[in-house]
A and B are shown apart, each in its own frame.
Chain A
Amino acid sequence: MDLKFSNAEPFADERDAVDRLLGAGDGGWHGGQRDEEDHRRAHSGHAARSQRHLVMEALHAVNDRVGWISPGALNYIGRRLSVAPADVYSVATFYALFSTNVRPKRIVHVCTDIACMARGSKEICAGLEKQLGPASATNGWKHSPCLGVCERAPAAMAVEAGDPPHEHLIGPATVDEIVLALNEGPAALAAEAPPVMAVPQAGQEGLMLLKRVGQVDPESIDDYLTTNGYAGLRRAFDMSPGEVISEVKESRLMGRGGAAFPAGVKWESTAKQPATPRYLVCNADESEPGTFKDRAILEGDPFALIESMTIAGYGIGAERGYIYLRGEYPRAYRMLRNAIEKARERGFLGADILGKGWSFELEIRRGAGAYICGEETAIFNSIEGYRGEPRSKPPFPFEAGLFGKPTVVNNVETLCNVPLIMQMGGAEYARIGTEGSTGPKLFCVSGNLVLPGVYEVPFGATLGDILKLAGGVPEGRKLQAVLLGGAAGGFVRADELDIPLTFEGARANNTTLGSGVVLAFDDTVDLPGILLRIARFFRDESCGQCVPCRVGTVRQEEALLRIAHNRHDAASKGRDVGILRDVGLAMKDSSICGLGQAAWNAVESAIDRLGVLRESR
């Protein structure tokens, strides 16, 4: 391509960071040293352009090393990967964890999202403002959407760019700790709480998905093997790929990411496609506010996901899988990298797995702060090195997904049911839970509860059961409302605790399970404030592609702000609720993807179900 770059050159550490990812540049035409061969030959065609998918990793490399992406570094990435600088810039400016503005090496991202808001993030921010000045990258701290550490709310993530970079999730965070992380670096902090801390049930009899969390060393493949690890894969290898799919179909496993689509149907329609190669993508971009169940598995039992994906790959005939992991999960990233390496060493990944004559490779791709990348087609764009903008459907992923090829996208939790299904058989598995919702289910229980955490129950438990498991609201407080399914979900009242938390039960009660979020708010919580935070979240996370969502989320937030600032003016409040309804309906009807379509759900349910912001009558 005839690319044009500005004169900005990369600094040595920026160049080194990129070279370490990509290897030294090959000749002068693509960023390396110009030599005599370059006078007579160049190869800048399809092969050079096929590296686009490495853009995100290259941006991570620079951002992790120096803390931001300078014009010189951007040029260098473009040269190395044959991508135009405007394109690299467009990707870099899409993701919240990347910066194209100069900023200090140490940054603390302070979660101000709903779960943390219910547990004091406002006070933390007030304290930080006093000590450090207002939130801004230059002051070293920023507001962050949900970091997925809701069980330890309020949470923060301290980052220090360098070689190697340091990333550290803090929870519960204090002002002092955050200031310490900024002054002395994240290394000065006390060790992160072990993964088991997210799972109050850890060690209990009968757990299926969480059975190893806290019970084995998540870095040891031997531990995994001695706790029935890879039994599922061995069982799968006794079957043909078609039989594997049949078992999954028979299990009636539904997707756990939020859309609740039957996994077996997805697999089957993908496997039927004549086009190859096929791909498997694990959606580990767990970004729905209030969701942290996948993190518990990834940190506490990473091999389970590797095994699950290997089985899925075998079933659908994919020889390559991608784990798209959210950028805010540094420990999960370390655990997964280790697990993949160990599995490869032992012949559980790579060529000819277990002598079966079948190969499977896994790659991790890190997100960089974009909720939208959890959308099943936005995830493809992000992996391919583009902005995480959802694609228009049809075509659906099973027809044309990653790199335009047939693709299965499954959530971490969904996949981790697969070894169980292999071992038990689909029919046996389907006996767990209810008719419409089979198997065990993880719930992310947080907010004002005594024992927040990830809870595993067979499908069928009611909302009340789950809250009881988590110890209920603290002594002396009263439950005000529960948010089910996260920011894209909906509120239910404190008197609706008998709602069965099954797909069909939620549907019957006009609410949603979403990603399994159960976020409880007691009577101390300012619900209109929570609504504002949700509106702010969608406004910040909208990719901007379609008008209803791009502008609609702005108008939704503005209307809520006006209501918050004019509480006593009933007439204008009525007008603003009217705007909320009008805009909400247009977003729901006409947005490209689920983000916009669901951006008004929570506000709508708060108005109609809880009576918050009730119009004047």
Chain B
Amino acid sequence: MNIHYPGGPAVTPVKQITIVIDGEEVSVPEGSTILTACNAAGKDIPTLCYGDTLTPKNACRVCMVELKGSRVLVPSCSRKVQPDMVVMTDTDRVRHSRRLVLELLDSSVDLSTTPRIPEWKERYNVDSDRYGKRASESLTRDVHDPGEHHAGNGDVAATMCQPIKIDNDLYVRDYSKCILCYKCVDACGTQWQNSFAIQIAGRGFDSQISTEFAAELPESACVFCGNCVEVCPTGALSFKSEHDMRVAGTWDESQQTETTTVCTYCGVGCNLNLHVQDNQIVKVTSPHDHSVGHGNLCIKGRFGFQHVQNRKEDGGS
């Protein structure tokens, strides 16, 4: 609600900007992105690296649209609307670019736990097998030698495939599923957590989300808030509870309820979304649109639910 308080920020009426999307006029508040306008116009633009709590990084390039007058396609998730923009969301050029981005990702990354991928693959006629057989697990992705790589003879398509990292009881890093969208880095960095435990290391295709010298998480600056897991779009980062259930074959989202409640661990009042399956909390997320936490929690809020499940039937512990 835009209420002016004495001494507080001025509340000025927001100007509406009108642009044309696929031949139809759409009005959105000034400062909105093309993506917002597209959503308002009912367009279904695929996104991967976009996060509703993060500054757009423009890294995945799957949300590209054609903008009249622009030499190249523009990322709808970050480009702000300007009066009289003419945007096309489904031209051959746009479809080609989306198809290629999805092919390039699908041929190099395990997208099996990324939501909506099968739908998009069909929509954009993705054929990621044409790049050849996918390369098998690499054991050296954490050793960095920027500017150099072993080229091979093109027989296999290079991939992110690598061993899964399980170095603690709270969450799991499966970077074979990582599309390097930077969201976890941004959540861990200045945008939210400011712990700076992880960053992109290396360069180009050999880049890798990493701690310093690939130290295990408990040795790093990680404080296990799980705010990186909260924003990961592909399941590269997942809660150990979810990971274990997936491995055991018991993970079943259709049997889960999601209930919003308030954390019990301090006076700040962060909201928790408890995901419950068979009367057990299986993971905790946080509503992104809430003014207290904006989707963020600390280690206690994220993982401190276990005590209610450790109780015996008589209520003892």
Contact = CB atoms under 8 A, between A and B. Distances in A.
B197 to A, nearest CB: 6
Interface of B: 56-62, 64, 72-73, 75, 78, 93, 96-97, 100-101, 104-105, 107-108, 130-132, 143-149, 151-155, 157-158, 179-180, 182, 194-207, 210-213, 215, 219-221
B160 to A, nearest CB: 10
B154 A561 contact: yes
Given A74-B212, A550-B205, A586-B100, A540 B147 contact: yes
B146 A84 contact: no
A85 B212 contact: yes
Which 8 A-B residue pairs are closest in the complex by CB-CB distance?
A96-B147, A561-B154, A84-B196, A586-B100, A90-B199, A562-B154, A551-B104, A544-B207
Interface in A328-363: none
B205 A96 contact: no
Given A84-B196, A86-B196, A94-B146, A553 B220 contact: no
Interface stretch (A39-47, A449-457, A589-597): A589-597
Given A143-B148, A541-B147, A548-B100, 19 more contacts: A2-B195, A86-B197, A86-B201, A90-B201, A93-B203, A100-B144, A539-B149, A539-B204, A543-B203, A547-B62, A554-B158, A557-B151, A558-B152, A561-B151, A563-B154, A585-B96, A586-B100, A590-B64, A592-B58
Contacts of B59: 545-547, 592
A3 interface: yes
A94 B153 contact: no
A95 B148 CA distance: 11
A295 B242 CA distance: 57
Interface size class of A (residues with CB under 8 A): 35 or more
Nearest to A550: B205
A463 interface: no
Given A565-B153, A583-B104, A86 B204 contact: no
B100 A369 contact: no
B101 A369 contact: no
B205 A554 contact: yes
B89 to A, nearest CB: 14
A546 B58 contact: yes
Given A96-B146, A575-B130, A392 B75 contact: yes
Contacts of A564: 153-154
B87 to A, nearest CB: 15
A588 B147 contact: no
Contacts of B180: 544-545, 550
A597 B146 contact: no
Contacts of B158: 554, 558
| Most chain A CB within a 10 A radius of its CB, from B64, B148, B202, B203 | B203
Nearest to A542: B204
20 contacts: A6-B215, A84-B195, A87-B199, A88-B212, A96-B146, A96-B147, A101-B144, A142-B148, A145-B147, A387-B200, A539-B205, A540-B146, A551-B108, A552-B100, A554-B205, A555-B104, A561-B154, A562-B132, A590-B101, A591-B72
A216 B134 CA distance: 59
Interface string A573-585: 0010001001101
A544 B199 CA distance: 13
Interface in A497-553: 536, 539-548, 550-553
Main secondary structure of the interface of A (DSSP, over half): helix
B101 A586 contact: yes
Given A1-B194, A561-B154, A583-B100, A544 B221 contact: no
A585 B75 CA distance: 16
B203 A101 contact: no
A540 B205 CA distance: 8
| Most chain A CB within a 10 A radius of its CB, from B75, B198, B205 | B205
B204 A550 contact: yes
B200 A589 contact: no
A187 B3 CA distance: 72
Contacts of A585: 96-97, 100
Contacts of A545: 57, 59, 180, 182
A1 to B, nearest CB: 7
Contacts of A100: 144, 213
A3 B195 CA distance: 7
Contacts of A565: 153-154
Contact of B96 (A1, A142, A550, A586): A586
B196 A548 contact: no
B212 A86 contact: yes
Interface in A36-93: 71, 74, 84-90, 93
A101 B145 contact: yes
B152 A94 contact: no
A467 interface: no
Contact of A544 (B105, B203, B220): B203
A1 B194 CA distance: 8
Contact of A85 (B64, B93, B204, B221): B221
A575 B111 CA distance: 25
A547 B104 contact: yes
A584 to B, nearest CB: 10
A547 B196 contact: no
A586 B97 contact: yes
A87 B196 contact: yes
Contacts of B152: 558, 561
A555 B157 contact: yes
Nearest to B179: A547
Contacts of B105: 547, 551
A614 interface: no
Contacts of A90: 199-201, 210
A431 interface: no
A560 to B, nearest CB: 7
A546 B108 contact: no
A591 B64 CA distance: 10
A370 interface: yes
A111 interface: no
A559 interface: yes
A258 to B, nearest CB: 15
A4 interface: yes
Contacts of B219: 6
| Most chain A CB within a 10 A radius of its CB, from B182, B196, B207 | B196
B192 to A, nearest CB: 14
Contacts of A562: 132, 153-155
B211 to A, nearest CB: 5
Given A546-B59, A548-B61, A86 B211 contact: yes
Contacts of B62: 547
Nearest to A69: B213
Nearest to B72: A589
A268 B154 CA distance: 49
Contact of B221 (A84, A143, A560): A84
B203 A370 contact: yes
A2 B223 CA distance: 11
Contacts of A101: 143-145
